Structure 1
Amino acid sequence: MKIMAKTVLASALALAIAGCGAEAPSAQNAAGQSKVALDNEANRHAYALGTVLGREVAANMEHLTETGIELDNAVVLAALSDALNDNTRMSDDEVQEAIMALVELSTNYAEEQSQVASEQNLQDGLAYQAENAAREGVIVTESGLQYEVITEGEGESPAAEDTVTVHYEGTLIDGTVFDSSYERDEPIAFPLNRVIPGWSEGVQLMNVGSKYRFVIPAELAYGSEERPGSPIPPNATLIFEVELLEIEKAESVSE
């Protein structure tokens, strides 16, 4: 959301500095396109630049509309024409102030929507956990971790300091797969004391050769943390199917 807000500002600044003294074309063809001639390289370059800027502004206008902020396209085009002719009706300070206010409105709306979604994720997760806990074969630990045995192994179990090699698939409660070593066709090794609490607790319950299904409440996963770029939303309950392949015991530290 902050990236989008910065993009709004960047677009406005890009338009403000693009002063090349041209008047905005008014004539259009039947398809609603401008009738400017594209019969030489300079015009094609100019049109390409305008296309990039126009699409960027259009994307931001669409985003702002989604946040409940309605802006008049005609005013935006008028301002663009004024800026291109270095004849703007607002000072640089006024432009900056207005843009920052727009960014703040957009950011506040995004944060409010994120909070609503986070709370909904929490409630949906609690409902899913309650339903899952009632299923035959599901065990709920004192922490709230839920697990069921798919395949029982016969090997040893890891300790919290050990490094394990596993195959796994992680999904959201709606079935969306957000990570899978099976899809990569490559198991992964990691120390159990460096993963989310639900993983650390759950894998220690397993034996080498076993496969478990875990339902991990948000507080044992990533909580309400918003992780930009991550497919895991805040307050998400996570589901993992984990196959324990190997254990590498931690080296004991001598006194």
Structure 2
Amino acid sequence: MTTPSFDSVEAQASYGIGLQVGQQLQESGLQGLEPDALLAGLRDALEGNTPAVPVDVVHRALREVHERADAVRRQRQEALAVEGQEFLAANAQREGVTSTESGLQFSVINQGDGPIPGRQDRVRVHYTGKLIDGTVFDSSVQRGEPAEFPVNGVIAGWIEALTLMPVGSKWELYIPHNLAYGERGAGASIPPFSALTFEVELLEIL
């Protein structure tokens, strides 16, 4: 296969479109796609060629690969839900971990003595969010800049925790999926049904 030249703006834009399509397909969960066949279909569409594969065969194949991807996705989501439940059940037995009626868990790293925010307040915090396997998906600490937001503008687990925390506190939060991003997840970094952990330092009420 000849390597194309990317000297022109059109070539660079074309390559960029290809990157975007490839990334979207990768995130879709479709497995076993063949790049050469994909490129052939793209070329036929762009050049107005007669499809090399009958349309009914294409539709049937697309339906099958989507069904396979859906089955794999469901299995993964079920596994994540179970992993989260098992993690939280074990974590609840650890010394120093408090569980609330909603299912939120937290441990106190440092207990401040400032005021406690209400749901209508705006706060400044430092935080690091992780999946239960330890993967960091977001961190104001790593960015070197605290985050500011309204208390009632975040996930349910955070709302509950923040309305229990005095300013100056640093807590570790353990949040079940139904108090986090639930069945939908959040982008590529937080899969559906993920239990999450956060180290949160409440710096001030704004």
Task: Output the TM-score relative to the length of structure 1.
Answer: 0.63
Identify the residue that residue 117 of structure 1 maps to in structure 2: 76
Taking the TM superposition and a 5 Å limit, the aligned residue runs for 1:155-194 are 155-194=114-153
Aligned AA (2:204): E
Instruction: Report the CA distance shift for 1:241/1:97 in structure 2 as closer, same or farther (over 3 A).
Output: same
Cα distance in structure 2, aligned partners of 1:176 and 1:207: 28
1:142 pairs with 2:110: no
Instruction: Report the CA distance shift for 1:89/1:194 in structure 2 as closer, same or farther (over 3 A).
Output: closer
Cα distance in structure 2, aligned partners of 1:163 and 1:233: 28
One of 178, 181, 192 as aligned partner of 1:234: 192
Instruction: Report the CA distance shift for 1:126/1:209 in structure 2 as closer, same or farther (over 3 A).
Output: same
Identify the residue that residue 209 of structure 1 maps to in structure 2: 168
Identify the residue that residue 6 of structure 1 maps to in structure 2: none
Larger Rg: 1
Structure that is richer in strand per residue: 2
Q: Is the 8 A contact 2:92 2:105 kept in 1?
A: yes
Cα distance in structure 1, aligned partners of 2:71 and 2:128: 32
Between the aligned residues of both structures, percent identity stands at: 44
Instruction: Report the CA distance shift for 1:95/1:169 in structure 2 as closer, same or farther (over 3 A).
Output: same
Cα shift at 1:106: 1.7
Identify the residue that residue 203 of structure 2 maps to in structure 1: 245
Task: Output the TM-score relative to the length of structure 2.
Answer: 0.77
Cα shift at 1:96: 2.7
Instruction: Report the CA distance shift for 1:105/1:149 in structure 2 as closer, same or farther (over 3 A).
Output: same
Cα shift at 1:203: 1.1
Cα distance in structure 2, aligned partners of 1:163 and 1:121: 33
Identify the residue that residue 7 of structure 1 maps to in structure 2: none
How many pairs does the alignment contain?
A: 187
Instruction: Report the CA distance shift for 1:99/1:144 in structure 2 as closer, same or farther (over 3 A).
Output: same
- List alignment gaps of at least 5 residues for structure 1: 1-32, 35-40, 42-47, 249-255
Cα shift at 1:149: 0.4
Segments ≥4 residues shifted beyond 4 Å: 86-90
Aligned AA (2:139): S
Deviations 1:10-30 (A, max 9, x none): xxxxxxxxxxxxxxxxxxxxx
- List alignment gaps of at least 5 residues for structure 2: 6-10
Cα distance in structure 2, aligned partners of 1:89 and 1:159: 61
Instruction: Report the CA distance shift for 1:137/1:101 in structure 2 as closer, same or farther (over 3 A).
Output: same
Cα shift at 1:105: 1.6
Q: Is the 8 A contact 2:123 2:149 kept in 1?
A: yes
Deviations 1:76-117 (A, max 9, x none): 6xx89xx7xx99696xxx633322222222221111111111
* Higher RCO (CA < 8 A, seq sep 6+): 2
Aligned AA (1:190): F
